[in-house]
Structure 1
Amino acid sequence: MATRLGLGLPQMRQYDLGKDVPDVARAAERTGYESLWVFERALFPEPATQGLYGIEGLPWPDTYRNVADPLVTLTLAAAATERALLGTSVLVAPLHVPFQLAKALASLDAASGGRVLAGFGTGWSLDEYAAASVRPFEERGRVLDELIEVCRAVWGPDPVVYDGRLTKIASAVVGPKPARPIPILLAASGPRARRRLVDHADGWLPVGMGADAVAAQWRELRELADERGRTEPIRTVLRINAQYQAKAYDGDGRRPFQGSVDQIVEDLAAHAEIGLDEILLDLQGSARDAEELKDIAAMVYEKARAAGI
């Protein structure tokens, strides 16, 4: 079976949010992309107080200076499409009040006819936590645990009852309900996060860092699922942050998914062999505008399918 392909929606500053998001979403669905995705970046610290991903000295990409709200972006796409799934890869869970996020996702799922995929992570930016988090950075794992529990409760039957550290629901009717149970997917890179995924989530959201590395992580996750007695399959969606350029990257040092359409498709083929369910391509950072983004996305899709991906 062919690997499903998804596309990252335009959220960065070179795009006109109200016009370009629906336009790109419609075009992607017509092309054949089966899902549309957003990510979350709350702010851009200047001067930088911390490196990208918390790695000292690693600069934040300039494209992070202006990233539109993920749920607003996804809502614009939902209204413009009919079939494509609508995913978050990822929402930084502790930047959201659990009850409000659960209700927003339920409303979006009801409005879109059951198309939402809820992808959560704990994030890494201390500046984002200082500005927006519901609890300190050190408690991020516990916040994510509660958020998952609150979502399951709010999306479940009424009356909803929940007694947590952040959320207290004595007994209430909470609607609208999702059109169907919303899958929860987690980024989950560390040992504790992987246990949380195996025990409490529906799927995994790895990031492409080379086919061998992703394959090794996938093996470890499956082994952990066997150890912990999980019988349900783990849904997998690989995020690819591609760096497109018109001419092929020539020379040593090319990173995966850096280069021309043919080079991106070549890397796609290597990652598709891992056996993951879906690959999400985020091409927006290297496109000048929505027209170029649509063109690149269509070329990648057509060449990928022609290559048997």
Structure 2
Amino acid sequence: MKFGISYSTPFFGADPETIAGFARDAEECGFESLYLPEHIALYPGAKIGPVALPPSLPYADPLECLGFVAAVTSRILLGTGVLLLPYHHPVVLAKRLTTVDVLSGGRMRLLTIGVGALPGEARAAGVDFATRGRRADEAIDVLRLLWAGGEEGVGFDGEFFSFDGICSFPKPVGVSELPIHVGGSSAAAARRAGRRGDGYFAGGSLGEDERRRQFDLVRGAAAEAGRDPDGVQYTRWGTLDMSTEDVERLARQGVTRVVVTPGTAEPGRRRDELAAFAGRFGLS
């Protein structure tokens, strides 16, 4: 089992010293990866399910933050949980992601994408909310095409994106393309992960029966697409107080990575929480 940690800018803030200290603590404790979330724009009345999102929440840009994290760490992998892919142009995004990967020495390896749940956010980004799933599928294909393409250029003619003879450099470090994980709590997200993803990051507050059904959807969609179901990583949220028995139970369900979030913003208490978790699971 691998263990990641999430830095929530709405909770912890976007202060550079706080982000740097958090990232260094996570790396020193032996966590494999650090994730940041994304919202491009909020507005009064925005809700995800029953949860209201105050419009003043400081959602900093995750890729800018990860570039900063890369400069103050040396080992920890960089991830998004989740980046709202339909609201980014994939030609621009391909360059931004590989730049972070190059500057970090090949650590931008846990890009996790979602399609978004706020219609007002889609409107602000100029995206038809109803098409965001198709747009995300097409964007995944464009990203991989650009990363794999050479000096001769590549072309694409889709519903949302079209270009011809385009080159995108620099390239990811040591790989032909960056892994793309799919996050979400819907059947559509699970199927997208199986058809196109290198991993599935299950979200939401779902029961265990629904969790199992969705992971079966991931594996079934992968098989139908001619992909290896065992090659799709499975990430789940966890808590810093989870026991070894909790982790063993998740492992039996096929989970390959657990991501946790500290419950306090106070640096000393946070370090103690991370150290206790790391000691329990032998991370450092």
Which TM class, normalised by the smaller chain length?
0.7 to 0.9
Identity %: 30
Moved more, 120-129 or 62-71: 62-71
Q: Which piece of structure 1 moves more, 102-111 or 209-218?
A: 209-218
Q: Which of 194, 200, 203 is equivalent to 2:199?
A: 203
Unaligned runs of 5+ residues in structure 2 are none
Against the structure 1 CA distance between its residues 38 and 120, is the aligned structure 2 distance closer, same or farther, given a 3 Å change threshold?
same
Partner of 1:138: 130
Q: Which residue of 1 aligns with 2:157?
A: 163
Equivalent of residue 124 in structure 1, options 110, 117, 135: 117
Aligned 8 A contact 2:181 2:201 in 1 = yes
Give 1:160 deviation, angstroms: 2.8
1:214 paired residue number = 211
1:279: Cα distance to partner? 0.7
Distance 1:17 1:273, change over 3 A: farther
TM-score normalized by the length of structure 2: 0.85
Task: Give the 3-state SS of the residue equivalent to 1:187 in structure 2.
Answer: strand
Aligned counterparts of 2:63 and 2:13: Cα–Cα separation in 1: 16
1:82 Cα deviation after fit:
1.6
Deviations 1:196-217 (A, max 9, x none): 3222221111126455543342
2:10 alignment partner in structure 1:
12
SS, match of residue 77 in structure 1: helix
Task: Give the direction of change, closer, same or farther, for the CA distance of 1:300–1:211 in structure 2 (3 Å limit).
Answer: farther
Describe the superposition over 1:77-123 as per-residue Cα deviations: whole angstroms up to 9, x where unpaired: 11122221111111011121221111101111121122212211101
Q: What's the offset of the Cα at 1:266?
A: 6.2
Q: Secondary structure at the match of 1:65?
A: coil
Q: Are 1:280 and 2:276 counterparts?
A: no
Indicate conservation of the 8 Å contact 2:42/2:53, yes or no.
no
Post-superposition CA distance 1:204-262 (Å, at most 9, x none): 1112645554334223322343344322611122234xxxxxxxxxxxxxxxx4xxx54
Deviation string, structure 1 residues 120-143 (Cα, Å, up to 9, x no partner): 1101011211222x4210110121
**1:112 matched to 2:104:** yes
Taking only aligned residues, the RMSD between alpha carbons, in angstroms, comes to 2.6
- SS, match of residue 66 in structure 1: coil
Shift of 1:278: 0.6
Aligned residues: 276
Deviation readout 1:242-294 (Å, 9 max, x if unpaired)? xxxxxxxxxxxxxxx4xxx54577654543442311111122xx313344333
Q: Can you give the 5+ residue segments of structure 1 that lack an aligned partner in the other structure?
A: 241-256
Q: After superposing the two structures, state which structure 1 stretch, 140-149 or 264-273, moved more.
A: 264-273
Q: Check 1:123–1:13 CA distance in 2 against 1; reply closer, same or farther (3 A cut).
A: same
Q: In structure 2, do the counterparts of structure 1 residues 61 and 291 end up closer, same or farther at CA, with 3 Å as the change threshold? A: farther
CA distance 1:266–1:126, change in 2 (3 Å): farther
